[in-house]
Structure 1
Amino acid sequence: MTTIYFVRHAHSTYTPDEFARPLSERGMRDVAEITNLLIDEGIDIVTSSPYKRAVQTVQGIADYLGQDVVVMDDLRERTLTSEPAKDFTSAMETVWKNPAFAWEGGESNVQAQSRGIEALQSLLRTYEGKKVVLGTHGNIMVLMLNYFDARYGYDFWKKLDMPDLYKATFENNTLMSVDKLYKSQD
């Protein structure tokens, strides 16, 4: 069994720069809680999206283990549009209702899921039998889980916490179980 700990990033301070958007003060406080939840899990490797908020969220467990975070570009969040959506909720509903649809400059669910699954399958091959932390984002995380199980869709995405933590076990390329490990204090 290979275990992937999907860690959705903690609360961030909004900036239009997706790549460099940092965690907020609240988000930084939540990093300690996420780290404490992972300490006793026997983590072997810490990976992340290249986005600052995702790396910052898993940096605590990497520091505890004395490791660098392994950054993988294809774990980045899906690009919804080239410009900020006027109505984010409506834009998200549209791409989830029609997985092949993409807004101008954005990725469809099909495109983003394909990219995310390639990265996830690479992790499953490279770290077979290991416990892997994956610093990620809500949409790409749900798209990766959705590839294996349709229960993980738009409604699931809307209920995610920030941060959030799911322990997913895989046997070869088959998703065996998913357990929520984080309970929001809000």
Structure 2
Amino acid sequence: MTTVYFVRHAHSTYTPNEFKRPLSEKGEADAKKVTHVLRFENIDVVLSSPYLRAIQTVEGLAHLIGSKVEIEEGFKERKLTEKSAEDFNEAIMKVWEDETFFWEGGESNLVAQQRGVEATLQVLERYKGKNIVIGTHGNIMVLIMNYFDSKYHFDFWKKLDMPDIYKLSFEDDLLINVERLWGK
């Protein structure tokens, strides 16, 4: 059995630079709670999206287990558009309604999902039998989960907390169980 803990990043302070957006004060406090929630899960490795907010959400846990956060590009958030969307809710709903649709300069659900699933399958193979924490983002996390079970979709994404933690148990690359460890 291999266990993946997907950790959606904590609240961040908005900046136009997606890669360097830091956690807010609330996000920093919640990141400490993430470490507290996962401290007895016998974590072997901590991976993260290259985005600062995802790294900061899981780096306390990496320090606790005496390791560093390994960066995995495949877990970065999906790119919705090249420019800021005029109406984010409309823009995100449109890509979920049609998995092949994409906004100019953005990724379709299908393309983003393929990227995230490829990264997940590589992690499952590389760390078979281990407990793996992955700091990531809400949209890409749900797209990955949707690949393994279609009940994870747009409505599920809308209910996520920031941060949020989902424990996924796999036998090889077959999803066996999903358990929420954070949230309401």
Partner of 2:67 in structure 1? Answer: 67
Partner of 1:105 in structure 2? Answer: 105
Identity of aligned residues (%): 56
Partner of 2:166 in structure 1? Answer: 166
SS at match of 1:166: strand
Say what the alpha-carbon RMSD is for the aligned residues: 0.6
Give me the TM-score of the superposition, normalised by structure 1: 0.98
Partner of 1:121 in structure 2? Answer: 121
2: CA distance, partners of 1:108 / 1:22: 26
1:41 counterpart letter in structure 2: E
* Structure 1 residue 32: Cα displacement: 1.0
Partner of 2:17 in structure 1? Answer: 17
1:92 counterpart letter in structure 2: I
2: CA distance, partners of 1:152 / 1:170: 16
1:153 equivalent to 2:184? Answer no
Partner of 2:176 in structure 1? Answer: 176
2: CA distance, partners of 1:29 / 1:82: 31
* Structure 1 residue 183: Cα displacement: 2.6
SS at match of 1:135: strand
1:155 counterpart letter in structure 2: D
The gaps in structure 1 that reach 5 residues or longer are none
What's the CA shift string for 1:44-93, capped at 9, x where partnerless?
00000000000000001001011010001111000000001000000010
1:43 counterpart letter in structure 2: I
* Structure 1 residue 97: Cα displacement: 0.3
SS at match of 1:19: helix
1:27 equivalent to 2:27? Answer yes
Partner of 1:45 in structure 2? Answer: 45
* Structure 1 residue 7: Cα displacement: 0.2
What's the CA shift string for 1:128-167, capped at 9, x where partnerless?
0000000000000000000011110000000000000000
What's the CA shift string for 1:17-66, capped at 9, x where partnerless?
11000000000000111001111000000000000000000001001011
Partner of 1:5 in structure 2? Answer: 5
1:149 counterpart letter in structure 2: D
SS at match of 1:122: helix
What's the CA shift string for 1:92-122, capped at 9, x where partnerless?
1000000000000000000000000010000
1:167 counterpart letter in structure 2: K
2: CA distance, partners of 1:183 / 1:93: 23
2:119 counterpart letter in structure 1: A
SS at match of 2:128: coil
List structure 1 runs of 4+ shifted beyond 3 angstroms: none
2: CA distance, partners of 1:119 / 1:164: 20
2: CA distance, partners of 1:183 / 1:155: 16
1:89 equivalent to 2:89? Answer yes
The alignment covers a number of residue pairs equal to 184
SS at match of 1:12: coil
